[in-house]
Chains A and B, each alone.
Chain A
Amino acid sequence: MRILLVEDDAEVARFVKKGLQEAGHTVEHAANGRDGLFLAASEGFDVLVLDRMLPGGVDGVRLVETLRGQGNRSPVLFLSALTAVDERVKGLKAGGDDYLTKPFAFAELLARVEALGRRPSAEVPTTRLKVADLELDLLSRTVTRGGRKIDVQPREFRLLEHLMRHAGQVVTRTMLLEKVWDYHFDPQTNVIDVHVSRLRHKLDKGFDKPLIQTVRNAGYMIRAQ
């Protein structure tokens, strides 16, 4: 993916750029909002990673508003040191697609960038999701594996749906909390792990190959082996 990183802190920028490049992406970096806006407007990027606060008069929110005003729909991930609850809402309202607070684990950033870059287009509605022999029917809300029906609770269904929509991608615990439970804070108890392991238990019972994998220091991924 082509990724534009607009970040004024040189050390953070270097770290993020290096990590993204190691993950196989092309990264352009701008150190201020003006350059970032110029790059974003003149070249096509799959994902924009913007610091919320930038020097040079154009901050992250202004940048996104300008781009959206120009009809640029590239997905945007905000990085921000601002923790106030409203800041996330403000960033999303301005046209951002995701919001990550500093400090962050690189794995979390990578997972979110990849999720944004390969977002399924909203124009083509999917009714069935399939990973290996696991099928999920969004209309009848049923899950089958190898033709055998698996009983899941509604919340487990949504958890599985989210994982399957991002099949082959890492989905972090925080992402699951945000997308499946709409929780925008980190509980101290590791609540997600328990839910995933329950779901995994239901899916894998009687099958050889486990489908949901735990990615160390990051989160989970579902994929056909």
Chain B
Amino acid sequence: MRRGAPALPPVTASLAQLPLIGLLRSASGRFALLFTALFAASATAAAMVLWWNTAGALDRQTDAAIRADATALMERRADAGLMALVPAIIDRLALDVQNEALYLLLGPERQILAGNLDTWPAEANADQPWIRMPLLRDGAESEARLLRVELGDGHRLLVGRDVAEKLRLRALLSEGLAWAAASSALIAVLGAWMLRRALEDRLAPVYGTAAAIGGGDLSRRVPLSDRQDEFDRLGMTMNAMLDRIAQLMEGVRGVSDAIAHDLRTPIARARAKLEESLDSAADEEALRAAVEQGIADLDDIARVFKAVLRIAEVEAGARRAAFAPLDLAPMLADAAELYGAAAEALDQALTAELPESLPLVGDRDLLLQAVANLLDNALKFNPAGGRVLIQAQQVAGLAEVTVADEGPGLSPDDRGRVGERFFRTDAARTTPGSGLGLSLVRAVVALHGGEVVLEDTYPGATPPGLRVTLRLPLGTVPEGTGSTAA
């Protein structure tokens, strides 16, 4: 939280200079603006509906009354002739208790025949029959709504109403709306501010963590609330990413450790041997033998190097793209056949117990290499006359591949270390290469989302033998690696 703070002041500073642009640059500002805009739009819509239903209705009511009055007068004229309009207008004026009726009947010479308006307004000559005029009554300003009716023979009639009362109502309404607008504006601003604050508050831990990571502190993680919302999901995703990065970094560190341990020692050994033979080789034959030994040593070093790189590659998970459906059964049968002959040559017996078919989604080359490493190990540690069993079966959504030998096995301590970081374990092993072999097996199985189980072949016996079981999920590509941690 506190580390997130330095990221905020620049935003506020630019806000002070360019309010709208600064606001638009920050996502939370844009959300807040959007919120304000939506709020304003809905408030405006509400005001418009209200206006239409009140002030608008009053106007329409007035117009309807005027139209009805004019129609009645026209009927009168049709019944009794043009001149009957004069007493009709006088009667209407006499009975106008509300004091709002306006009439003006004009003769052909523009002389006023009846009505209560002083002149015929110029505006009434327009095309539009409906007009709106200012009105003076006793020095008080008001407004008139008038309808012009052409009577023929140069006679014209204005029928109208004084709408002062309606104007007063409309003013009241406007005032009310203005107050409503002001308060909703206040709410909108408050809401936008709160929204922005909330967004920034929720994002601050993410900023803070990212800044700390950027600064080199890889141990930092985004603190999570227990709301399980989008921000927590963002944080969780970030944390998962950071875990993965940390894991890869550790892998890189592991590779350098492994290079130091697995390569420096044999290089030193080979170098010493060559130097020694250079100084003391008796004849050319001895020198040749020493060079050949040197080449063989280098080949071993290259092999270890390759294995270390392969393990790192597998642990990084880069190989998951090569996953494809495959059948384990014929693959294992091939491996058993390939190693069977070698077992016989070593006076051992390799037995395969395999099903007809064992379909799986995975990486053929890596799985083969894993099984080959197990078989290599088994043959290497088995005593003469020993047996090696390779077995595979499907157990509840898992493919179980077992390689069991009758060798010295692994002590419980060593087993634990096999489950740790790969290169550390082989430090405990005296036979070079074998520890790396198991490490690769572990990495390959982890890549497939499975686990490696190490047991005694014959518990309690001496030697107990080693029984390695690979439990591989059959189905889809796994989400993450490292499920062997348990």
User: Is A194 among interface residues, defined by CB-CB distance under 8 A?
Assistant: yes
User: Is A26 among interface residues, defined by CB-CB distance under 8 A?
Assistant: no
Tell me whether chain B's interface is mostly helix, strand or loop, or mixed.
Answer: helix
Identify the stretch in B137-145, B261-269, B369-377 within 8 Å (CB) of chain A at 4 or more residues. Answer: B369-377
> Is the Cβ of A85 less than 8 Å from the Cβ of B341?
no
Tell me whether chain A's interface is mostly helix, strand or loop, or mixed.
Answer: loop
Q: A85-B365, A183-B368 are in contact. Are A188 and B309 (CB under 8 A)?
A: no
> Is the Cβ of A85 less than 8 Å from the Cβ of B344?
no
A194's partner among B334, B342, B380 (CB-CB below 8 A) is B342
User: Is A118 among interface residues, defined by CB-CB distance under 8 A?
Assistant: no
Name the residue of chain B whose CB is nearest to the CB of A199: B341
Distance (whole angstroms) from the CB of B197 to the closest CB of chain A? 49
- The size of the chain A interface, using a CB distance under 8 A, is 23
Q: A103-B298, A189-B339, A191-B342 are in contact. Are A83 and B372 (CB under 8 A)?
A: no
A86 CA / B320 CA spacing, docked (Å): 11
Interface residues of A in 77-133 (CB under 8 A from B): 83-86, 89, 101, 103, 105
User: Is A25 among interface residues, defined by CB-CB distance under 8 A?
Assistant: no
> Is the Cβ of A191 less than 8 Å from the Cβ of B313?
no
Distance (whole angstroms) from the CB of A202 to the closest CB of chain B? 12
B379's partner among A155, A181, A184, A189 (CB-CB below 8 A) is A189
Interface residues of A in 136-181 (CB under 8 A from B): 155, 181
> Is the Cβ of B298 less than 8 Å from the Cβ of A187?
no
Q: A189-B380, A198-B341 are in contact. Are A183 and B372 (CB under 8 A)?
A: yes
User: Is B186 among interface residues, defined by CB-CB distance under 8 A?
Assistant: no
> Is the Cβ of A83 less than 8 Å from the Cβ of B306?
yes
Q: Point out the residues of chain A lying under 8 angstroms from B110, CB to CB.
A: none
Q: Which residues of B contact A (CB under 8 A)?
A: 295, 298-299, 302-303, 306, 309-310, 313, 318-319, 321-322, 334, 337-339, 341-342, 344-345, 365-366, 368-369, 372-373, 375-376, 379-380, 433, 437
A-B contacts, 14 of them at CB < 8 A, read A84-B309, A89-B322, A101-B306, A103-B298, A103-B302, A183-B338, A185-B365, A186-B303, A187-B376, A188-B380, A189-B339, A189-B376, A191-B339, A191-B341
Besides the known contacts A86-B322, A183-B338, A187-B375, 15 further A-B residue pairs in the complex with CB atoms under 8 A apart: A83-B309, A84-B309, A86-B319, A103-B299, A105-B295, A105-B299, A183-B368, A185-B368, A185-B372, A186-B303, A189-B380, A194-B344, A194-B345, A195-B338, A198-B341
List 5 tightest A-B contacts by C-beta distance, closest first. Answer: A194-B341, A188-B376, A194-B345, A191-B342, A194-B342
